[in-house]
């Protein structure tokens, strides 16, 4: 009787998969993923989740350990570098302050009124030279300094 009981206990323990804290059996993992999907209002895909568990369970023991989960999530979680932020737009503090588009438009009117040939690329380059502090505005001081420099040439 003791032999049969021992054999029964060994057989039962071999088929019983226990997961330590932080570990998940396939059934636990599937249930958790289904619960999370439903909570987010998403459709649960059992086949996809089973495939994910197979990838998680690197050693194939039927348990996704905490270490296996960490390794799985870290290999695919290399976050892309954040997109570069646009430079903050400087606030106009004076009527003479102009954005690039405003400067180009005003120069176009100026060129046409004087009968000069307008070249947008040249005027945009001029704006870049004027906007010394690179804040996106050609303010009065920057324009005055630029024109003073040009008159000395």
- 91 vs 8, more confident: 91
Joined tokens for residue 37 = 């999907």
Percent of the residues in the chain that have a pLDDT greater than 70, as a whole number: 77
Query: Is the CA virtual torsion 28, 30, 33, 38 positive or negative?
Result: negative
Tell me the CA distances in angstroms from 130 to 80, 86, 121, 138, one per residue in order: 35, 20, 14, 6
Look at residue 73 and tell me whether its pLDDT is greater than 80: no
pLDDT tens digit string along 124-144? 999 999 999 988 899 989 999
Confidence of residue 121 (pLDDT cuts 50, 70, 90): very high
Long-range contacts of 21-24 (CB under 8 A, 24+ apart): 22/65, 22/66, 22/69, 23/63, 23/64, 23/65, 23/66, 24/63, 24/64, 24/69
pLDDT of residue 122: 94
Joined tokens for residue 112 = 């046409």
Helices (H), the chain: 2-15, 26-39, 46-56, 66-75, 100-114, 120-130, 140-151
Task: Among 4-13, 48-57, 140-149, name the one with the lowest average pLDDT.
Answer: 4-13
Rg (CA), the chain: 35
pLDDT of residue 40: 82
pLDDT tens digit string along 76-109? 655 556 666 666 667 788 888 999 999 999 999 9
Instruction: Please report where in the chains the tokens 């032999």 appear, as a residue.
Output: 3
Joined tokens for residue 78 = 């290399």
């Amino acid at each position: 009787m003791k032999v049969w009981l021992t054999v029964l206990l060994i057989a039962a323990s071999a088929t019983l998969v226990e997961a330590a804290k932080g570990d998940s059996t396939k059934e636990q993992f599937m249930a958790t993923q289904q619960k999370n999907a439903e909570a987010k209002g998403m459709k649960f895909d059992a086949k996809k989740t089973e495939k994910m568990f197979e990838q998680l369970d690197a050693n194939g023991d039927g348990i996704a350990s905490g270490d296996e989960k960490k390794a799985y999530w870290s290999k695919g979680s290399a976050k892309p570098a954040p997109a570069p932020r646009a430079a903050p737009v400087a606030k106009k503090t004076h009527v003479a302050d102009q954005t690039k588009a405003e400067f180009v438009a005003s120069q176009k009117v100026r060129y046409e009124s004087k009968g000069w040939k307008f070249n947008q690329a040249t005027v945009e380059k001029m704006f870049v030279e004027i906007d010394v502090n690179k804040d996106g505005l050609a303010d009065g001081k920057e324009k005055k300094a630029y024109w003073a420099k040009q008159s000395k040439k």
